[in-house]
Amino acid sequence: MRIVVDGMGGDKGSKEVLKGIVLALKEKEDIEVIVVGQEEKLSKIIKEMGYSNERLKIVNADEVIEMTDEPMIAVREKKKSSINVGLDLVKNKQGDAFISSGNTGALISASQLKLRRIKGILRPAIATVFPSKKGHIVFMDVGANADTKPEYINQFAIMGSEFAKEILNITSPKVSLLNIGSEEGKGNEITRQAYELLKENKNISFTGNIESREMMSGDTDVIVSDGFTGNMVLKTSEGVANYIFSMLKEEIQKSFLSKIGVLFLKKPLRKMKNKLDSSEYGGALFLGLNGISIKAHGNSDYIGIKNAIMVADNFAKNNFVEKLKNTINNNK
């Protein structure tokens, strides 16, 4: 598989991206990585790292879409940006998947313009993996569609189910609708209408509404929502997890006995931190396009980039896009 990576995106800079790429190439000998960005800068970093491998190639892209840029304007005006050039490689079958930790809005806009929607898809959506008591859940939409119609949410459920089947190996995924109450009839007009559509959808196993506090219970496999709510839930959960660990660290430092006690809890605490760390899940997939586009967290370190490459490789090897096309065609 040829994985294309945006070498200019993210908060931590190109060196962190390249460290992640190198780690991925060391762990998986059957992949190639094409890093896209300002060639002189990327070549210098690779040289400083002392790394040389024919499976790592650079494709030059002179321009950079900054986090502060207006997404659609930047995509149209910065045609030689790393995001545009990288997605062109996937569009032209010179790469099997694209990863960026850069400007989310620009990635969404450019992905739709270049890769186009699968025929029959009403709106693409961003899906991510969440930890749960029993393993993992698929959660979508987490930001592609701030304004959503009930029929979009209904289709998100079909795409999310396919994701869970193919990637999480869940034979018959249970689907839930994120809402303010578990009872039928709860929520606003959009969620109430979406509930009725999901209830009648014969292509999924719909279990009803679920509240945000029950998301990680393990009682469901796929949770669907509008993109505005989904993005808020995602970022809130990340913030709460970070707060808990920073508060725990602060309290441990206050007491000598706490420092001794934490030695016995070091392993389970590390496991818990890893499970809640968004970088462990490698990013979010933009579902519904004729190609694989993955948004890594803007704050991704080299581990997050490495994991995003592993996720991209998994989707590409599973021929996920073609399977999703077949699913959508069969559900017309």
In order of 2, 30, 221, the CA distances from 55 in angstroms are 9, 9, 36
Report pLDDT digits (tens) over 178-221: 999 999 999 999 999 999 999 999 989 999 999 999 998 889 99
224 Cβ contact partners less than 8 Å away, ≥ 6 residues apart: 140, 141, 153, 156, 157, 160, 175, 176, 177, 178, 194, 198
Q: Would you list the DSSP string of 199-247?
A: HH-TTSEEEEEE-GGGGGGSS-SEEE--HHHHHHHHHHHHHHHHHHHHH
323, pLDDT greater than 80? yes
Question: pLDDT value at position 300?
Answer: 84
Q: Which residues contact 301 (CB under 8 A, 6 or more apart)?
A: 12, 16, 20, 279
Distance CA 56, CA 310 (A): 15
Closest by CA to 290, choosing from 76, 72, 120, is 120
Q: Check whether 133 has a pLDDT greater than 80.
A: yes
* Three-state secondary-structure class, residue 185: coil
Identify the band that residue 17 occupies on the pLDDT scale cut at 50, 70 and 90.
very high
Instruction: Specify whether the CB–CB gap between 313 and 305 falls below 8 A.
Output: no
Torsion over CA of 123, 3, 88 and 318, rounded to 10 degrees? -40
Residue 57 pLDDT: 96
Give the separation between CA 39 and CA 261, rounded to whole angstroms.
50
The two structure tokens encoding residue 302: 């080299």
Which CATH number applies to 122-279? 3.40.718.10
∠ at Cα 117 (291, 166), nearest 5°? 50
pLDDT of residue 135: 85
**How many C-beta neighbours within 10 Å does residue 237 have?**
18
35 in Cβ contact with 43 (< 8 Å): no
Whose tokens are 């809402």? That residue is: 179
Quick: pLDDT tens for 279-295: 555 578 999 999 999 99
The string of DSSP codes covering 104-161 is HHHHHHHHHHHH-BPTT-SS-EEEEEEEETTEEEEEE-SSS-SS--HHHHHHHHHHHH
pLDDT given at position 244: 77
Q: Per the structure block, which two tokens stand in for 221?
A: 């496999």
Q: Looking at the predicted structure, is the pLDDT value of residue 37 above 70?
A: yes
pLDDT at 94 exceeding the cut of 60: yes
pLDDT at 132: 85
Q: The domain 1-119+288-319: what is its CATH number?
A: 3.40.718.10
Q: With pLDDT > 90 as the criterion, what percentage of the chain qualifies?
A: 65
Q: What is residue 103's three-state secondary structure?
A: coil
The full set of domain ranges for the chain reads 1-119+288-319, 122-279
pLDDT tens digits for 248-304?
A: 778 777 776 666 665 656 666 566 555 555 555 557 899 999 999 999 988 888 999
